[in-house]
Structure 1
Amino acid sequence: MSALKYWLWLTELPGLTNQTRLALLQHFPTPEDVYYAEAEEVLLTEGITREQAILLENKDCAAADRILADCQRLNVNILTLQDAGYPNRLRNIYDPPCLLYVRGRLPAFDDEAAVAVVGTRDCTPYGVSCAEKLGHGLAAGGAVVVSGLARGIDSAALRGALRAGGTVAAVLGNGTDVIYPPENQYLYEDVAAAGALVSEYPPGTPPDGRHFPVRNRILSGLSLAALVVEAPERSGALITAGTALEQGRDVFAVPGPIDAPASVGCNRLIRDGAGLASDAWDILREYEARFPDKLRREGTQDAPPVLGYQARQKTEPKPVAPSVSLSHNNLSLTDDQICLLRTLTEEPMLADDLIELTGIPTRRVLSALTVLEIEHLVTQHSGKRYARAVNLTE
């Protein structure tokens, strides 16, 4: 029996959770070892109950055979957690899928600035316009746009990215051969041609309401950041934002009218520290230093040479940050503010890291940062990260 068949046996065995499968794969080198293990050995796996060990006595591989045949017929590739092509970015989340079904060509996510764009199905014309604009801008700027293929914001973001000729990936809550919603048939084909359709569910799996919150961890897990375009108070997009934060990803949101129900979630995210995104560069500038050869501001690539003011503007050196003398302390800075300025660098730092490095209580750190930001000595970046905006002299 091929090694891949053991993976399919394990993932399709009824009654096991993904966490149970991951625990088994931590204890045993491969699914093949799980398949042939005695019950007593299985019970040595941390967290495994006797009832779960009994489930593993089912050695029927009919489902695995069927899935292998379907994938071959549909040209769907299978990536396991132990394959070299499985993205490390996803592998390192708390609950990675044991395997992925991929139709198309999976981007090299570990080397890409991927941004998940999500939002409500019941969107407004404003939301659709913003999603298409931002999807286009992210793709034109060199990012991989990741989304679902749900109605509304997800589909609009992918359409915008495809119009820009960018690379895209869609994470599904059903099999990669199941088109949902039906009107997205052509969009499915376009995404598969320009990137990949991705699912942890085998071909033929119908859409199920329980699948979509679960697949959100893959959306954010493949990405550096999650962008919420439009989300009411109770929205699956907010679940994705929460999952992204748990995974250490950045979160951005598009602001909307304060009396618009579809924008309540986004406005609250911004209030609570998410980055405000009005165009793609609001997001991509955060990763420009990390991907200097891939990211660019939309409209600047291959631009023809220009004369006059615009040409001079491009060749002018980067402005030098103003200097602040700590010895003279003309600004009447407090000890906390001085300590924070000395600790901060030009690279954004989390407030939690500043609290740990300085030993200053949380309330005082946040208060001092607020004053420093008002005085233009510190700039705040997405995710409540702060950078020093001045040079220090003693």
Structure 2
Amino acid sequence: MPDLSRRKTLALIGGGTVLAAGAGIGAFAATRTPHAALAPWDAAGAYADPRMRALSYALLAPNPHNRQPWEAELIGTDGITIWRDPARDLLVTDPFARQLTIGMGCFLELARMAADAEGLATETTLFPAGEAGPVARLRLVPGGTPDPLFAHVMERRSHKAAFELRPVTADAAAPLARHATLHLDGRLRDDLRQLAQDAWRTEMATPAALKESIDLLRIGRNEIEANPDGIDLGGPLMEGLARAGLLTRAAAMDPDNPGTRRQIEGEAAIIMGAPAMLTLVTPGNTRRDQIAAGRRWLRLNLAATGAGLAIRPVSQALQEYPEMAAHLARAHALAAPDGGTVQMLGLLGYAARTARTPRWPLETRMRDA
């Protein structure tokens, strides 16, 4: 979500060259896919209880740093209570849990869509005991109407690499226009790209913010399967670099490390090369506004997938810690000059589909499991 694909950003942070790690890749290359961490994608919909089926899709929703902050409890025969797990907070980059609440909105919207696909409507009560309690109580009742966007759930990804050079036309992006404001060309698009690049550099130069990402690195299959959340650096290349001592958390904390510097510059170039930008603005910044933003972000992602486009969140400029204050003010001056809260900033373009992201099994996110 706000994350500029730190999976790729920090991918070669250990310094040295890819070739130096080549000898360490060899025989184990074919065994490095973290199948257990990806199994929840294949388990989606494979439960007897329709509430569990809805939740099994919902946990595939985009969310900040892939923290998967949701917890659920089945109530009676048709109810679900949903919490946000504070143990998964991002205390530095998301001090007010705004972004994590947006992630909860994505989760709730995907649960609703999954229930609708089975002819079940979702009666939702947000914050039934106030903001300190559950995020929502859901009740599944007959009457849901299938949503065409649900067809794209299994193909949806948050993009993690550079975009193709071809521009995005208004006609091509038309299905997205109802969910966010599109900036396909012109001065405002260019200003937003520059803002995103500047904010990216600021985050990389802020030790506490950088460390929050590094602490969530999962390097290689074993780490990913032990903790299938956070920022996964998987595959034989990453494991080869780690084996060779070229991919280390210590090196990642050094912005002057040659490998780290190359990646910072590479990601900055990707931002400036994005064909289009998008912004998502809400009238206010209440918890309900944030949930609404998450619902829209999820639908935007699915609409983009259906249109053959890719989205990459770059919301560093919207984070509410002191070092980011000037960028946050600039974001609102550019994208919400007449008022409101800019909740999401993203890149838009054409790109090959990214691999699936690891997920915790649904049973681990159930309070009554």
Given the two structures, how large is their TM-score scaled by the length of structure 1?
0.21
The structure with the largest helix share of the pair is: 2
Highest relative contact order (Cα 8 Å, sep 6+), 1 or 2?
2
Q: Rg bigger for which structure?
A: 1
